[in-house]
Chains A and B, each alone.
Chain A
Amino acid sequence: MLRDWRLRFVAPAILALAMVVFLPTGYLFWMSVTHWVVTDPDIYFAGIDNFSGLIDTHDFWNAWRVTLAYLTLSSALMLALSLGLALCLAEARSARVLRVLVVMPLVIPPVVAGFTWRFLLNSEMGFIGAFLLPSIGVRTSMLADPVGALFSVVIADVWSRTPFMFLIFLAALQGIPKDYYEAARVDGAGVVQEFHFITLPMLKGAIVMALLFRVIDAINTFELIYVMTKGGPGRATQTLSLFGWKVAFQGFDLGRSAALGVMMLAITLICAMIVFNRFLKVRE
């Protein structure tokens, strides 16, 4: 098996990744069990102190709650939107320009996307927040209301990253043989049935993969949220990534921040494994 062409093909990728992954990951694990606070000259082994300390704080659980809410909402919206778009624009004769245009929000740096939506939704001077919304009777300040802020962040995120999922689905759709649809039509199937019996099953792999990457992406979203709400009002939009950043760069507690990172990594791995085993293992 070692001289197998398959292993030779995979080797460069594994090598490239391993080089940059192993050492930092090891270092991360080391940091997570170390007491390392910038203002404290003592650096020593701390066992599970960092972990237990984190679990004890209110912030920790709040951040999980916020992250889950944000994740579910934005991923669901994104999935629906990107799938719909891909279905509408997958056909060769659709305007090319539309396909390129739809991708553009992804190109805007997340910092700018955050500011753009922040200025748009601002209840004092924003075009949407101070002009459009009040004119249809919505008086709450989107960004200063705990629930509104979460929605705002979700919308900005969906706007910014839907094109990513769209691209995945667009390519995946093109992999479905036309014959299937023809045969289905011959059998008298309608649009909904076509979608349900052909498109969806063929896209299953792509959907699961897109969602997996989406979840990983969402966990790492930082600048967008930070710039829009700074995690607020209060801690209403303080996701795990914001919390972790604060622990490291304002609390100067590098050990704890690493511990949080390790916890997040572990949970993501476990969830991914479950999803992987359930949906992605191809039964030969």
Chain B
Amino acid sequence: MTVAAVTKRNLIAMAVGLAMTAAASAQTEVNIVAFAPGFAWANLFGPSGTEKTEELLAFEKKEGITVNMEYADEETARQKVLLDLVNGTGRYDLVMLGSDGAVQTYSYAGYLEPLDGYLDQAKDYFDPSGVYPQFLDANRVNGKLWALPYYSFGAGVIYRKDIFDKYGITEFPKTTEELEKALQTVKEGFAKDGVTNISVLTMRGAPGEEPSLDLAGFVYAFAGFPAWFEGGAVTPEEIKANKAKPIFTGAFRDGFETFVRWSREFGPPGIATHTWVDMMNIYGQGKAVVLMPSAINGFAALGGTENKDVKEHTAFAASPVGPSGKPIQSFWTFSVGISKFSKDKEAAYKVLAFLTGKQSMEAFASQIGWPYNTFPEITHGPVLSAKWPKETLDTVEESYETADPHYFPYIPELNEFMDRIGTAASEAISGGATVDEVLANLQTWAEDRMTRAGYYK
């Protein structure tokens, strides 16, 4: 064995070794944190969220990317995402966001990668022109796009047609005034007929940000604009330029007061602590007549109910229009964004496009079956048309068109505002304080918060 031969052997072995490691690392890893296992991307990760289905494996092989998914529940995922982003750890490439706070906060904090430049890539997975523009709009802050919508919904009402018919209301009310009368009619009808275990209305009044999405919708419908800051300012720039102070004791009051009043008069006794889970359960058990404006929870109830009446007599109607002429809003997207600290943003975008693209949304429609979908093509496609009457699908689509995705201000402090508003509502609903008292507190807090953040310098 000459020295040369041995050295050559070693060199070859080294080269082979290097080549192998190179090949192995050619497989990029994209890490995602999301919520709702068994619901979100169940077609890729299975019902428990811990498998890898054929579909996913095919994608991984084709693109040379390994997709690692981690599920947690929304609140706890929020903590993980924050810790990761605040420390720039870069543990997650893709993060799940909500269009009611997370998108705004993280984009302003500089933790997200703007997506406008990527939209031309991976078009065979996600073509931005193929989705309803409103859902993309909801994820635009300051004109830039920060996340792509996965699962999203608009406003609407789910109700029991049989009960409405019984008390002489054959057509679902179109305005809030008419709806209030209808609710009153049903309430009186129940009292006369001795029905005590069914509430007329189910909404959510739990403290925190739960009610706020809906509440903001009420405010919008009554004032005609997002009545949070003077002049309807909705961006930090506008607020700073006009030194727009909060107006919670102003135009905000009407919608807020209606929400609280309806909850107290027509809602179940425990409404001050109800979340979407309760809405869903109560309606599904047949214990409520009307569910609004986040009709999605009614559809969720339909999915699991075994109550015959609920199954056969549930109808869907458009969200009623407030005194301003605009409907009560409820608009939200479950969206995914790219972390600024991701080590391979191109690969991350590919996965993102795959996760929010037509294929995934088709799977969503087949597996979950709700009439909400980000693609018009799928909304009117075979799967959903087989499940829902055309009228329902059309009304759903209309709710996107009449929606104003920016029906609340898009400011970095949004999360905290949503939390405070919801808590104030809960307090008012439970009778712990009057509407004016909680609004006055809210106003004081908001003024202080905005001042502290330097808006009025």
A residues sitting closer than 8 Å to B (CB atoms) are 37-41, 53, 57-58, 122-125, 129, 139-141, 143-146, 149, 226, 229-236, 238, 246, 249-252, 254
The answer on a CB contact under 8 Å between A230 and B105 is: no
User: Which of A230, A231, A238 has the most chain B CB atoms inside 10 A of its CB?
Assistant: A230
Can you name the residue of chain A whose Cβ is closest to the Cβ of B268? Answer: A124
Q: What are 18 A-B residue pairs whose CB atoms fall within 8 Å in the complex?
A: A39-B453, A58-B441, A122-B270, A124-B278, A141-B273, A143-B270, A144-B270, A144-B272, A149-B273, A229-B206, A230-B208, A230-B273, A231-B423, A233-B426, A236-B430, A250-B415, A251-B415, A251-B419
Can you name the residue of chain B whose Cβ is closest to the Cβ of A247? Answer: B416
The one of B271, B282, B413 that contacts A125, using a Cβ cutoff of 8 Å? B282
Provide the residues of chain A in CB contact with B154, threshold 8 Å: none
Cα A163 to Cα B433 in complex, Å, equals 38
Cα A38 to Cα B271 in complex, Å, equals 33
Contacts A39-B105, A124-B282, A144-B273 known; A249 to B429 CB distance under 8 Å? Answer: no
The answer on a CB contact under 8 Å between A232 and B287 is: no
Interface of B is mostly: helix
Can you name the residue of chain B whose Cβ is closest to the Cβ of A231? Answer: B207
Other 14 A-B pairs with CB < 8 A, given A124-B270, A233-B272, A234-B207 = A39-B453, A41-B110, A57-B445, A124-B269, A125-B285, A129-B270, A144-B269, A144-B270, A229-B273, A230-B206, A230-B275, A233-B426, A234-B423, A234-B432
Chain B window 200-231, contacts with chain A (Cβ cutoff 8 Å), 1 for yes, 0 for no: 00000111111000000000000000000000
Contacts A125-B282, A250-B419 known; A233 to B273 CB distance under 8 Å? Answer: yes
- B113 on the interface (CB 8 Å rule)? no
Provide the residues of chain A in CB contact with B208, threshold 8 Å: 230-232, 246, 250
The answer on a CB contact under 8 Å between B427 and A235 is: yes
Q: How far is the CB of B361 from chain A (nearest CB, A)?
A: 30
Provide the residues of chain A in CB contact with B430, threshold 8 Å: 144-146, 232-234, 236
Provide the residues of chain A in CB contact with B105, threshold 8 Å: 38-39, 252
Q: How far is the CB of B74 from chain A (nearest CB, A)?
A: 11
The answer on a CB contact under 8 Å between A141 and B82 is: no
The answer on a CB contact under 8 Å between A39 and B82 is: no
B residues sitting closer than 8 Å to A (CB atoms) are 75, 78-79, 82, 86, 105, 108-110, 199, 205-210, 268-273, 275, 278, 281-282, 285, 287, 412-413, 415-416, 419, 423-424, 426-430, 432-433, 438, 441, 445, 452-453
Q: How far is the CB of B6 from chain A (nearest CB, A)?
A: 47
Cα A129 to Cα B273 in complex, Å, equals 14
Can you name the residue of chain B whose Cβ is closest to the Cβ of A232? Answer: B207
Can you name the residue of chain B whose Cβ is closest to the Cβ of A39? Answer: B412
The answer on a CB contact under 8 Å between A249 and B287 is: no
User: Which of A123, A232, A249 has the most chain B CB atoms inside 10 A of its CB?
Assistant: A232
Q: 10 tightest CB-CB pairs across the interface, nearest first?
A: A234-B427, A232-B207, A233-B430, A39-B412, A233-B272, A141-B269, A141-B270, A144-B272, A123-B270, A144-B270
The answer on a CB contact under 8 Å between B441 and A232 is: no
Cα A139 to Cα B197 in complex, Å, equals 12
Provide the residues of chain B in CB contact with A246, threshold 8 Å: 208, 419
The answer on a CB contact under 8 Å between A236 and B432 is: yes
Cα A57 to Cα B420 in complex, Å, equals 13
Q: How far is the CB of A26 from chain B (nearest CB, A)?
A: 17
Q: How far is the CB of A135 from chain B (nearest CB, A)?
A: 13
Cα A126 to Cα B145 in complex, Å, equals 44
Cα A140 to Cα B273 in complex, Å, equals 13
User: Which of A41, A149, A246 has the most chain B CB atoms inside 10 A of its CB?
Assistant: A246
The answer on a CB contact under 8 Å between B413 and A39 is: yes
Cα A53 to Cα B449 in complex, Å, equals 11
Provide the residues of chain B in CB contact with A233, threshold 8 Å: 205, 207, 272-273, 426-427, 429-430, 432
Contacts A39-B413, A230-B210 known; A146 to B79 CB distance under 8 Å? Answer: no
Provide the residues of chain B in CB contact with A249, threshold 8 Å: 75, 78-79, 82
Provide the residues of chain A in CB contact with B433, threshold 8 Å: 234
Q: How far is the CB of A120 from chain B (nearest CB, A)?
A: 13
The answer on a CB contact under 8 Å between B423 and A235 is: yes
The one of B272, B412, B419 that contacts A234, using a Cβ cutoff of 8 Å? B272
Provide the residues of chain A in CB contact with B278, threshold 8 Å: 122, 124
Provide the residues of chain B in CB contact with A140, threshold 8 Å: 269
The answer on a CB contact under 8 Å between B275 and A38 is: no
Provide the residues of chain A in CB contact with B199, threshold 8 Å: 124
Can you name the residue of chain B whose Cβ is closest to the Cβ of A234? Answer: B427
